[in-house]
Amino acid sequence: MKGRLLAGLIATALFGGLAGAADLRVYQPAAPVIAYFSWTGCYIGGNVGGLFASRAWKDQIPGDPFFGTDFGSYTTGGALAGVQGRCNYQLGGWVVGVQADYDWSNASAYNTPPSLFAPLFLTDRSQTKSLASVTGRVGYAWDRFLGYVKSGGAWERSTYSLLVAGQAVTSASETRGGWTVGIGGEYAFLDWLTGFIEYDYYRFGTNTNTFFCAACGLASVIAPFNITTEIHVVKGGLNYRFNLGKSPFGKGPVTARY
């Protein structure tokens, strides 16, 4: 009798332990889901920064004794401010997109040509009025931080003046096309608000601008000059992301990862 009771207690303990172990396996908690920020979406925003334009002038006046002479190289600097818009699509950690920028600028400077022009009391002035670009972007995201590069087409609007004894006697303006490359970093402070800092290089090559100048003391009243332009920009800004119909203060899109 005692032997049967002891065997029953051992069997109960054994099968009860196995059942408890099975229960532990069944009810183990699932691995937590980590929500990562997604950069997919469209954005609009504004920016401010600094612009530095390198200008090089060369005399191209037919028959002028100074034909082909460098008129001087110098840098115009100033502030810029503008707007940008873009759309992104995220594939894993990679983010691709397109962007358009437009900025206004007050960058300007005067240049005193080489001493051989000194008897003419002649100087020139360059002013960068606006800068625009349409670029493609490729970047890699570490959750809420995005590093990226960009490249595409660019346009700039400038005005130029020739001055004699400090008085502007003629001017010209142009809109010129070129290309740009840039690099930057962006951080999502909120699901609907991001901030960025970037550097952009613009190359516009050489273009001929013709001045109609009756008072310059030059060989001709039609005075063409070749002007070579390249521009460096450092700027920062904020972007608002459209949340696919949700309130801008609601939760933005996320990517779930285990």
Tell me the per-residue pLDDT of 200-235, one tens digit each, with 9 for 90 and over: 999 998 888 777 766 555 444 677 788 889 999 999
Return the pLDDT at 192: 92
Return the pLDDT at 257: 47
Mean pLDDT comparison of 11-25, 50-64, 149-163, 215-229, highest-scoring range: 149-163
Predicted TM-score (pTM) of this structure: 0.77
- Bigger pLDDT: 249 or 142? 142
- What CA–CA distance (Å, rounded) separates 73 from 115? 14
Stretch 138-157: mean pLDDT? 97
With the CA atoms of 172, 175, 177 and 178 taken in that order, what torsion angle do they form, in degrees rounded to the nearest 10? 60
- Of 200, 248, 196, 146, the closest CA to residue 46 belongs to 196
- What CA–CA distance (Å, rounded) separates 176 from 167? 26
What is the DSSP pairing of strand 94-105 with strand 108-111? unpaired
Stretch 99-119: mean pLDDT? 78
Q: What is the mean pLDDT of the chain?
A: 80
